[in-house]
Amino acid sequence: MTTTELTERARHSLPTARDTAARPGIAGVLRVHLWSFAAVVVLQIAGAIAGLAPLLAIVELGRTLLSPGPVDEGRIWLVVLAGALGLFAQLLFTGAATGIGHLVDTRVQLALRRLLAERLGRVPLGWFSRRRTGELAKVVGEDVSAVHPFIAHTPGELVSAFVVPLVSLIYLFTVDWRLTLITLIPVALALAVVPLMMTPARLREQRAFDAAMGRIGDSVVEFVQGIAVVKAFGESGRAHRRFRTAADEFADIFLRMVQGLAPLGAAMQVALSPPFVLLMVLIGGAALIGSGGMAPADLLPFLLLGLGLTAPVAALGHGFDDMQTARRAVERIGDVLAEPPLPQPARPVEPRGHRVELRDVRFGYDSGHEVLRGIDLILEPGTVTAIVGPSGSGKSTLVQLLPRFFDPAAGSIRVGGADLREIAGRDLYRTVSFVFQDVRLLRASVAENIALAVPRADRAAVIRAARLANIHERILELPRGYDSVIGVDAGLSGGEAQRVSIARALLADTPVLVLDEATSFADPQTERAVRTALAATAGARTTVVIAHRWETVAGADTVVLLRDGRIAASGRPAELLAANREFAAFWRSRPAGTPLDVDIREEDGAAAASSDSTRSARP
C-alpha cells in the first residue's frame, strides 16, 4: 500500500467536512479552531523531524569513529551537540503541540456539550420519552469524550506516522537503496493487514459492539432507577434478567470481534516488532556487505532508522481506531443536534383565561399510524376531567399534547383562546404544569426540587406545598430535611418522588394542571390525601387527570372514555356509569381484584352515582 493510498484511507476515516456539514453545529465548532489544528500539525512536523536528529547524530558519530586515521574530536562534539539540540527541539515542539491539542480538545468538548444542552432544551419534551436514557447519556457523556483522542492525540500520531518514515526513507535511500527496500518489507507486511481490519464485516461488528454497549448502559440505568419498586414486589430476578441478557449479548459480540481481529493484530505486531525488523536488516545488510556492495559503517543507519520506520506505523493503527471511534461518536452527536427544535412563534400570543379546547386533534408517532383520531373536547375552568380507557387507547398521548410535548398532526389545541403553537414556551409553562408517572427529580435539595417552577419561593411556601402533597413528614425524616440532596442523602421511593412532584405542581399553581398516573405508586390513603389537597387548592384551575381508581373518576366533573384514539363516551361519571353501556362495560372488564373492580362490584350501577357512594368507595 502506497503512502498516497494510506493518506486516502486516513482521510476517509476522519469526520470529513461533508459529514460534519450535515451535522448542525459540529462543523462550526471545528472550524473555529482551524488555525489551532494547523499549529498542532506544523509543530508536530517540526518535532518529528527534530526527533530524527539524535539518531542521525549517532550514525555520524559511528562513521566518524570507524573512519580510518585519527579521530576528529571537533566533529565528534559538533555531532553530539547537534543531537542534543535536536532532542531539545523535539521536546519543545511536541510539548507545545500536545498542550495546544489538549487546550483545543477541552474547548471543543465544552462547545459540543453546550450545543447538546441547547438543542436538548429546545426539542419537544415528548422526544425524551421516545429515547432510551442510557443511549442519550452515552451521547452526552461518552461520545463527547470519545472526541478527545482524535483532537488531542491522533494528529500528532498521524503526523509522526507519515513524516518520520518519509524523512527516514529519503535519508536511507541516499545511503543504499537496496537495503532500504529490504528494510521496508516489515512495514509493507503490516500495512497489508490494515485493509483486512477494515472490511465491511469488521465495521458491522464494530457497530454491533456499540449498540450492545448502549443496551448495557440502558439496562443498568433502568435497573438502578427502578430497583426499589422491583425489590418491593419481589421481582429482582426479572430486573436482573434484562441486564444479564444485555451483558451476554455484548460478550458474544465482543468475542466474535476479538476472534476476527486477534490473528490480524498478532500478525501486525510480529511484522513491526524490533526483532523481526532487525532480522530483516541484518540478513540484507550481511548479504550486501559480504558481496562488497556496501560498507560496514553504512549498516548502522538502517539498524537505527529501520526501527524508527515501524514504531510510528504501529501507532498508526491506534490512530485509525481513534478516528473510527470519533467518527461514530460524531455521527451520534450529530443525530441529536439534527433533531428539529420545537417551533417557537415569531409573534407570541398570550392566552386569555384557561379554557382548554381541542378541535379535531389528530396525532401519530409514526407516519401512517394515528394514535389520536379526531378528538373534540372542551375543558372548562374550575373543572376536573378524568381520562379513562383501555391500554393503548391514547390517554397518555392526549394529555402529553396539552403541555406541548408534541404538536398535533392536524387540528388545534387552544388555551385561553390561543393555539399552543402561538404561545411562547415561557408563557405556556406558566399556564400549564404537569405531573407524570415517570418522575424525574434533579440532583438538588428537596426544597429546590419543589420550588423548581418558583425558585424565589420562601421555605414556608415550600413546606405548605409539601404538606398538601402529604410528603412533609417524610422529608423531615431525611438527614437534613428539606436541605437533603436527591441522590446524595435523600433516597425516595417512587411514590414519595411522585408526591414531591405533586408538591412542585401545587407550588407552581398554574391555571391548567395535567396529571398522568401521578399517584400510580401511592397507597390509597396517600392518593386520597393528594386528591383532597388538589380539590382544596383547585379554585378556577382546569385539571386533567388520567384516572385508574373509581374515587378519582367519581370525584371528577367530567369523565372521557377513549377507545382506539377516539372519544367513545363523555359526561358526568355517575350518569355514564348508570346509563352508558360502553362505559359501564369498560369498568366491569377490568381484571378481577383491582381497586376499580372492587368499587364497581360494591357500588354497581346507579348507586355509584350518589356522592355518598364516592365517600364510601374503597380503593
Question: What is the pLDDT, as a whole number, of residue 195?
Answer: 73
| Range of weakest confidence among 172-186, 395-409, 544-558 | 544-558
Question: What is the pLDDT, as a whole number, of residue 6?
Answer: 34
> pLDDT, tens digit, for every residue of 62-84?
777 777 777 777 888 888 898 89
Q: Per-residue pLDDT for 3 more than 60? A: no
Q: Per-residue pLDDT for 288 more than 80? A: yes
The DSSP 8-state label assigned to residue 542 in this structure reads: E
Question: What is the pLDDT, as a whole number, of residue 88?
Answer: 93
- Report the b/e string of 115-137 with b at 16+ CB within 10 A: bbeebbeeebebbeeeeeebbbb
CB atoms under 10 Å from CB of 479, counted, come to 10
> pLDDT, tens digit, for every residue of 215-237?
777 677 666 655 555 555 555 55
Name the phi and psi angles at 147, rounded to 5. -75, -20
Note the residue count of the chain. Answer: 619
Name the phi and psi angles at 232, rounded to 5. -60, -30
Q: Per-residue pLDDT for 284 more than 80? A: yes
CA distance 278 to 475: 72
Question: What is the pLDDT, as a whole number, of residue 39?
Answer: 87
Mean pLDDT of the 490-508 span: 84
CA distance 219 to 243: 5
- Report the b/e string of 431-467 with b at 16+ CB within 10 A: bbbbbbbebebeeebbbbbbbbeeeebeeebbbbbbb
Q: Which range, 114-118, 499-503, 539-543, is most confident?
A: 499-503
Q: Per-residue pLDDT for 443 more than 80? A: yes
Question: What is the pLDDT, as a whole number, of residue 459?
Answer: 92
Residues 6+ apart with CB under 8 A from 148: 105, 109
Mean pLDDT of the 231-260 span: 69
Q: Which residue has the higher pLDDT, 166 or 3?
A: 166
SS3 assignment, position 616: helix
Beta strand pairing call for 410-415 and 356-363:
antiparallel
Question: What is the pLDDT, as a whole number, of residue 595?
Answer: 43
Q: Which domains does the chain have, with CATH numbers?
A: 3-337 (1.20.1560.10), 356-440+510-616 (3.40.50.300)
> pLDDT, tens digit, for every residue of 354-388?
889 999 999 988 777 888 988 999 999 888 898 98
Is the Cα dihedral 505, 506, 511, 516 positive or negative? Answer: positive
- At 413, the pLDDT band (50, 70, 90 cuts) reads very high
Question: What is the pLDDT, as a whole number, of residue 522?
Answer: 58
Residues 6+ apart with CB under 8 A from 366: none
Q: Burial, 92: exposed, middle or buried (Cβ in 10 Å; 0-12, 13-18, 19+)? A: middle
Beta strand pairing call for 410-415 and 418-419:
antiparallel
| Range of weakest confidence among 109-118, 166-175, 524-533 | 524-533
Write the CA distances from 374 to 371, 404, 413, 544, 564, integer angstroms: 10, 17, 12, 19, 11
> pLDDT, tens digit, for every residue of 78-102?
888 988 998 899 899 988 988 888 8
CB distance 567 to 561 below 8 Å: yes
- What secondary structure does DSSP assign to 28-46, as a single string? HHHHHTHHHHHHHHHHHHH
CB atoms under 10 Å from CB of 593, counted, come to 8
Q: Per-residue pLDDT for 582 more than 80? A: yes
Q: Which range, 86-95, 140-149, 285-294, 599-608, is most confident?
A: 86-95
Give the global pTM.
0.58
CB distance 556 to 384 below 8 Å: yes
Q: Which residue has the higher pLDDT, 520 or 61?
A: 61
Q: Per-residue pLDDT for 23 more than 50? A: no
Q: What is the dihedral of CA 102, 103, 104, 105, to 10 degrees?
A: 50
Name the phi and psi angles at 180, rounded to 5. -65, -45
Residues 6+ apart with CB under 8 A from 374: 360, 361, 362, 411, 566
> pLDDT, tens digit, for every residue of 533-574?
677 666 788 888 887 777 778 778 889 999 888 998 888 888
Q: Which three three-digit cell numbers place residue 208? A: 454491533
- At 518, the pLDDT band (50, 70, 90 cuts) reads low
> pLDDT, tens digit, for every residue of 471-495?
899 999 999 999 999 888 888 887 7
Question: What is the pLDDT, as a whole number, of residue 592?
Answer: 41
